[in-house]
Structure formats: structure tokens, C-alpha cells
Amino acid sequence: MSHAKTSYVCLPCRASYKQPHPGRYDHARICPRCAEQLIHVGSAFAAPKKRDDAGWRVLSVLLNAGVRFHKSCCGGPGYRPRTLGEVRERMAYARANGEPIARVLVRRELA
């Protein structure tokens, strides 16, 4: 029986890859195009289209903040902002209230 697959992303190439779930002693995954290290994003990830500049910018902010797309017990990964406007609004809220950016980015409601 094969193991479940999960998603990895290369931000410079704007590419995502499904690969076997990382094991305990698994090595770093390398992008076949540019040889940069891939980022493990989780099994509930859906990549933006390659030409979607705003979508990839939003994804870059999320990944650099430590947000991933792992499935929860009840389905998907939960709320994730999809537009640059939502990201800007949440980052301003985090700065104003002193909350961690990663926590504010995944919260459905700000108030």
C-alpha cells in the first residue's frame, strides 16, 4: 500500500508538486527546475495558476509567515486570505494590536 501524498511548492518557479508524505528521516525536497529547496505546504493545498501574480504574492506572504495548508479533523485547512487586500488588512490589524501575523492571517473574523 502506498503512502499518502502531500504538496510541496517552489516559490521562484511558481510550481507545486505532489510527493509522498515526509517520513521521520526524510531528506529535503529539491525543485527539479531550479534546485532550490521546496516548501512543504500540506495536503489541503491548491496552487494558484502560474500567471496569477497576486495569488502567488499572497501565497508567499502566507508561507513566509509560517502558515501551511494541512487538513484538520473536519475537512480543509480553515480560512486563508486569497487577495492582497485581505492580507494588507490583516497585517495592519496585527501591527495595531500586537498579535502574531500568522495567527491573524488564519483567523476568519478580525473583530
pLDDT for position 1: 45
pLDDT for position 3: 63
pLDDT for position 71: 80
Across the 111 residues of the chain, what is the mean pLDDT of every consecutive 10-residue run?
80 94 80 95 92 96 93 74 94 94 90 70
pLDDT for position 86: 94
Rounded to two decimals, the pTM is 0.86
pLDDT for position 88: 95
**Alpha-carbon torsion, ordered 50, 93, 104, 41, to 10 deg:** 20
DSSP for 10-71, written as a single string: ETTTTEEEEEEPP-TTPPPPB-TTT-PBPEEEETT--PPPTT-HHHHHHHHHHHHTT-----
